[in-house]
Amino acid sequence: DTGVSQDPRHKITKRGQNVTFRCDPISEHNRLYWYRQTLGQGPEFLTYFQNEAQLEKSRLLSDRFSAERPKGSFSTLEIQRTEQGDSAMYLCASSLGDSYYGYTFGSGTRLTVV
């Protein structure tokens, strides 16, 4: 068990560019979550996968955002036409079964849009 891995750790991009982040959950975890954390705030839910199915999306996830988990293992989060307001820490978490037992979070990807 190597924990939840996220790549890259940091990303600086120019406004209008597309970016993609990757999350590798704990291997036996079937549930995967994406959260966004802006400066001075707690994490906010973006979306959730059970295996390869995306079962819930937050209203925060505008049409510029898309997430996939093609084989029920790793997941990608893509942001198209980035805006300065997208600057945040993007956290991935995973759980085995119910999230009631708590998530295991990755270290996050820090996105800076300039």
The minimum distance between CB 80 and another protein, in angstroms, equals 24
Interface with another protein, residue 63, by CB under 8 A? no
Q: Which of 17, 20, 6 is nearest to 67 (CA)?
A: 20
Q: Does residue 71 touch another protein according to CB under 8 A?
A: no
For 104, the 3-state DSSP assignment is strand
Radius of gyration of the CA atoms of the chain, in A = 13
Question: Which residue number, 19 or 33, has a Cβ lying nearer to another protein?
Answer: 33
Using CB under 8 A, pick the residue from 19, 21, 25, 33 that binds another protein: 33
The residue among 48 and 65 lying less far from another protein, judged by its C-beta, is: 48
In sequence order, what DSSP letters do the residues of 22-80 get, joined into one string?
EEE--TT--EEEEEEE-TTS--EEEEEEETTEEEEE-TTS-TTEEEE-TTSS-EEEEES
Q: Which stretch binds another protein (CB under 8 A): 12-20, 42-50, 63-71, 74-82?
A: 42-50
> Burial level of 16, CB count in 10 A (0-12/13-18/19+)?
exposed
Q: Is 56 in the site for another protein (CB under 8 A)?
A: yes
Q: How far is the CB of 100 from another protein (least distance, A)?
A: 5
Which residues are at the interface with another protein (CB under 8 A)?
4, 6, 31, 33, 40-45, 48, 55-56, 58, 91, 93, 98-108, 110
